[in-house]
Structure 1
């Protein structure tokens, strides 16, 4: 298939001599053609409208991204390097390209555009992440503990999961478990016996992941050791013009937790050092895997010294490669790693309805970029700032968020539903978990297939039913080719559902003939699902 793909119609734009950039390209948008891709976190703005622009260089929008655009008319644009694109005057304008462009017109619809791009540039590797991430809900300690990660409260959280009737799965210990960044041991003031804690979690049925980042706290013994070994990104002082002499101080990067040095993963020795520390954590504390946070392209300035000169985007991709050593992994930022057995999570969403409405377009676009093993954000929201100062959460939002996640590739809890919800709303969330359990065998079939073919697990309506008027529909998605999932993502109970042609059976047992536009009231504890039976 790949060989056949290579001889299909495509154009490669040639380099503009002496400029280091590639020629600006103008692509006329066909009648009715709509474009998707680029950054997952921008997906709610797609299909892209006139006036939209995005420069991928050193910017992955805090989430997954790829140098790929796909259209409803079967065309795609790909480059191995970042580029800028804009929609203006019925044209797709591409500029600031750091590498050649492939512009392919062999397909006829969105599905074929994705398939052709995937087979040619990011084919599925036939490997899976740890399947517990799909088969059971996940639990992250972030919203409950924030920066007060400690042994006592982690175990309390895990016991509460079981005591409140939720199934054990993967539990993630989040940030601030160490004395400082770069130190790979649990801090003694909060963890009296971390190995025993992990063993206890295992006995309860959990697998355990640990938050990590590529940052190293400056002015520490570890930072001095790494600098001496030339394993950190360095800052140019611009004294002699000689990079060997000028780049002898660590580059200090501003990120959400302050200012830190950063490991240089263009250096194979830095990879070896970092992996040795992760293996130390696995062997010493019996951990099962890692949550690889940060690694965003914008944390890698272009003007830093490194073992090998690469783009900020490539630094981000190299961070992604480390997860391939550990089947139990999760990333929030990614560049050009479609088709790999890496778990992605959508960027932290706020605790509001606007952000809940972004989950479906963001997740289905992740699939179009090759990131099939993607988790929606934490149920109820993962942006902890939106929880600060709240005496009471929006209980309906937590319930609808759980329902929205229930039939996505994964679902992840953080805020404890049993702490913030009434008895009735807690029962509704537990019902969503039960719905997932019902469909888990089918989800696992799709997961296995995605590893082999690269095909999305959760699909946009336009992907599954091309050129039938679904390109702008964002409030529902297809789980494989069999189930249409239409969660409530707005306040209230009124929902409009668009059924394609065919015979559909609803979760309430009613049969409906499509195409049809259905207006319905959705009960607080219901997740509407329609099965294609013919």
Structure 2
């Protein structure tokens, strides 16, 4: 969520109006904190393995990103619950607490990989499906940073033409928020899109696939809202007294939608426990595809916190609403989600939450992407190159050109890369050429990236792997600034401003470096780096 501020970390369960299970006696697991533990809170990947005090309650909170009710240790431990649970790590003590269901604890082996494989086989086995292959071959281009809430036909076409004009390949173009008439009225805004069919035809001819931003909200002053309220398709207020929408009180109770405040206003929210609401949403999306040739959708919002405030037709948890929103994307090979719950092994693009235009946030990419992989989300995207915080690129905002280059390089050999800020607008020739070289490097390895993604769809194994995952108990548990793509490509992006050298942990085996030198591991080395350099090492089968 692009305007969500901070994390809401609490040990108190967030109660919703219609509890889904009877309150059970609290279950508590005291876990061996001498081991290294990774927890399924993707937005906190940089805090893994757990070492600092942390308290988490998953109920009604996805912490701005994907959440999986899972703990894994490097000694083969697996902790899983079908329902949300709490855990705390403090003063060397790790405790898991279950109020809404049973927490299972298994000893699956002796390593992080064995723990993951057990969880994968028993709780989120790979679906053997994957999103469109295009995500792994070509860059994504999101119109958010350049256009923000002024999405319009003229500027979108100009953005697309400039991508090609500046030496970048056509890819997946995501048209972001405010292309529509209103939230929930998913029709092109007639003033800003005079001929959307012609725009779509031109984009396709240029070689782009096109996705549209959508969300589960409906604006209360729209005709869509009035029609859907009568059909009971929204989360409703718990009582007349709670109804803040000013709706006529003579309406039947089910016709009193609960108004939810989110980052861009106050809206009604689809009741995803109601099959009719889901059918309405999918019919709308399918129409956009059949009428305009839209290739897929960026599904934003869906955070469980929006479902803690009202009542639904069926008594399901707030977390379950988030899961049901993600299930909709399974019918669209071009999809993207930021907020999901318990969707491991599924063919969904799982994007990291928006990152700031800072070196500190750049450092979060590797550990968060690594955590996503071992939590069952292999098809992950590391947010937008340079950051998704649009205010960092407005007017006279100070832009760090080196940061954008290093961000592009970090993305280049991850499962996918996504641009938003136009590099040709904010970079000089030297820095732009460095970004273009990162794109060319990705093209060089595109077959390998795709092959690894295809294998992941069959096995469930991460595409981007922590070193500890592949080389257990070798001192790599806290390596957070390099990663493996598959098992044979080691990547060590430059994450420090002004760096001219980079320390790298070389695992066992023989590796050919980005300079052509053969290195035998395990060993620690230091390599020299220029602006154009992304240190990578290919494992040799000797």
Question: If the length of structure 1 is used for normalisation, what is the TM-score?
Answer: 0.93
> Is the Cα contact below 8 Å between 1:235 and 1:248 reproduced in 2?
no
Query: What is the Cα deviation at residue 89 of structure 1?
Result: 4.0
Query: What is the Cα deviation at residue 96 of structure 1?
Result: 4.2
Instruction: Give 3-state SS (helix, strand or coil) of 1:162's partner.
Output: helix
Write the deviation string for residues 313-333 of structure 1: whole angstroms up to 9, x where unpaired: 111010000001111101111
| Equivalent-residue separation in structure 1 for 2:160 and 2:361 (angstroms) | 27
**Alignment-derived partner of residue 377 in structure 2:** 371
Query: What is the Cα deviation at residue 27 of structure 1?
Result: 2.5
Instruction: Give 3-state SS (helix, strand or coil) of 2:411's partner.
Output: helix
**Alignment-derived partner of residue 467 in structure 1:** 473
| Equivalent-residue separation in structure 2 for 1:357 and 1:58 (angstroms) | 28
| Equivalent-residue separation in structure 2 for 1:29 and 1:468 (angstroms) | 20
**Alignment-derived partner of residue 116 in structure 1:** 118
What stretches of structure 2 of length at least 5 have no aligned partner? Answer: 1-20, 243-250
Query: Among 360, 364, 370, which residue is 1:358 paired with?
Result: 364
Query: Among 421, 424, 431, which residue is 2:437 paired with?
Result: 431
Query: Among 38, 47, 62, which residue is 1:45 paired with?
Result: 47
Q: Is residue 305 from structure 1 mapped to residue 311 from structure 2 by the alignment?
A: yes
Q: Is residue 58 from structure 1 mapped to residue 60 from structure 2 by the alignment?
A: yes
Query: What is the Cα deviation at residue 200 of structure 1?
Result: 0.5
Query: What is the Cα deviation at residue 472 of structure 1?
Result: 0.6
Q: Is residue 421 from structure 1 mapped to residue 434 from structure 2 by the alignment?
A: no
Query: What is the Cα deviation at residue 246 of structure 1?
Result: 4.6
> Is the Cα contact below 8 Å between 1:428 and 1:524 reproduced in 2?
yes
**Alignment-derived partner of residue 260 in structure 1:** 267
| Equivalent-residue separation in structure 2 for 1:152 and 1:85 (angstroms) | 50
| Equivalent-residue separation in structure 1 for 2:472 and 2:367 (angstroms) | 16
| Equivalent-residue separation in structure 1 for 2:453 and 2:232 (angstroms) | 41
Query: What is the Cα deviation at residue 376 of structure 1?
Result: 0.6
**Alignment-derived partner of residue 104 in structure 2:** 102
> Is the Cα contact below 8 Å between 2:27 and 2:102 reproduced in 1?
no
Q: Is residue 346 from structure 1 mapped to residue 352 from structure 2 by the alignment?
A: yes
Query: What is the Cα deviation at residue 528 of structure 1?
Result: 0.4
Q: Is residue 213 from structure 1 mapped to residue 215 from structure 2 by the alignment?
A: yes
Q: Is residue 26 from structure 1 mapped to residue 32 from structure 2 by the alignment?
A: no
Instruction: Give 3-state SS (helix, strand or coil) of 1:322's partner.
Output: helix
Runs of 4 or more consecutive aligned structure 1 residues displaced over 6 Å after TM superposition: none
> Is the Cα contact below 8 Å between 2:230 and 2:255 reproduced in 1?
no
| Equivalent-residue separation in structure 1 for 2:107 and 2:412 (angstroms) | 36
> Is the Cα contact below 8 Å between 1:289 and 1:326 reproduced in 2?
yes
**Alignment-derived partner of residue 165 in structure 1:** 167
**Alignment-derived partner of residue 86 in structure 1:** 88
Q: Is residue 293 from structure 1 mapped to residue 282 from structure 2 by the alignment?
A: no
Q: Is residue 490 from structure 1 mapped to residue 490 from structure 2 by the alignment?
A: no
| Equivalent-residue separation in structure 2 for 1:239 and 1:259 (angstroms) | 18
Instruction: Give 3-state SS (helix, strand or coil) of 1:330's partner.
Output: strand
Instruction: Give 3-state SS (helix, strand or coil) of 1:234's partner.
Output: coil
**Alignment-derived partner of residue 11 in structure 1:** none
CA 1:90–1:188: 2 relative to 1, 3 Å: same
Instruction: Give 3-state SS (helix, strand or coil) of 2:180's partner.
Output: coil
CA 1:19–1:314: 2 relative to 1, 3 Å: closer
Instruction: Give 3-state SS (helix, strand or coil) of 2:225's partner.
Output: helix
Query: What is the Cα deviation at residue 464 of structure 1?
Result: 1.0
Write the deviation string for residues 419-467 of structure 1: whole angstroms up to 9, x where unpaired: 1111111110010011101111111111110110000000011111111
Query: What is the Cα deviation at residue 245 of structure 1?
Result: 6.0
Instruction: Give 3-state SS (helix, strand or coil) of 1:305's partner.
Output: coil
**Alignment-derived partner of residue 512 in structure 1:** 519
Query: What is the Cα deviation at residue 392 of structure 1?
Result: 3.8
> Is the Cα contact below 8 Å between 1:22 and 1:100 reproduced in 2?
no
Query: What is the Cα deviation at residue 337 of structure 1?
Result: 0.4
Instruction: Give 3-state SS (helix, strand or coil) of 2:388's partner.
Output: coil
What stretches of structure 1 of length at least 5 have no aligned partner? Answer: 1-17
**Alignment-derived partner of residue 4 in structure 1:** none
| Equivalent-residue separation in structure 1 for 2:99 and 2:468 (angstroms) | 28
Query: What is the Cα deviation at residue 388 of structure 1?
Result: 3.5
What root-mean-square deviation, in Å, do the aligned CA atoms of Structure 1 and Structure 2 show?
1.6
Instruction: Give 3-state SS (helix, strand or coil) of 2:324's partner.
Output: helix
